């Protein structure tokens, strides 16, 4: 699956999740973002990258569509690899995006949430390509 496809799907999942998520699921997302923000990027980036990537699983769960769990695995793995390539310098960017995403989700602004996800992932992909010195757009299956 190409990176463009993963970004498109994750944007669509975000839109659906925003429309369907319960208050409890929104609280779980917020708790996940807060937990990730408390972890040290400097001393344990791998753990923090995993916490950041977990958001994809929570969003997929919030759609109520079990088939999207398959997508979540690919997207979560891709994002984790991307975050590891970019490194801790991406932490502030990720946290800012997560907070903007939460704001859209709380307002039930599905289009805004989807745009935020797409913009965020596109930016991270660019940073990852710079960090890796590559322009490949295909994710290994």
The pTM assigned to this predicted structure is 0.87
Cross-strand bridge partners of residue 2: 138
- The CATH label, of 3.10.20.70, 3.40.50.300, 1.10.240.10, 1.20.120.530, for the domain at 3-131 is 1.20.120.530
Rounded CA separation 89/92 (Å): 7
pLDDT at 6 over 80: yes
Residues in the chain: 141
Judged on CB neighbours under 10 Å (0-12, 13-18, 19+), 59 is: buried
Under the banding of pLDDT at 50, 70 and 90, the label for residue 135 is: low
């Amino acid at each position: 699956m190409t990176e463009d496809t993963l970004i498109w799907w994750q944007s669509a999942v975000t839109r659906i999740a925003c429309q369907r998520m319960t208050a409890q699921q929104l609280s779980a997302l917020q708790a996940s973002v807060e937990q990730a923000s408390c972890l040290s990027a400097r001393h344990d980036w791998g753990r923090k990258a995993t916490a950041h990537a977990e958001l994809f699983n929570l969003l997929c769960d919030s759609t109520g569509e079990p088939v999207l769990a398959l997508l979540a695995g690919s997207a979560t793995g891709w994002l984790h690899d991307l975050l590891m390539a970019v490194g801790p310098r991406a932490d502030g960017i990720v946290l800012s995006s997560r907070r903007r995403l939460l704001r859209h989700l709380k307002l039930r602004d599905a289009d805004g949430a989807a745009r935020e996800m797409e913009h965020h992932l596109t930016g991270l992909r660019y940073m990852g390509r710079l960090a890796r010195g590559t322009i490949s757009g295909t994710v290994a299956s």
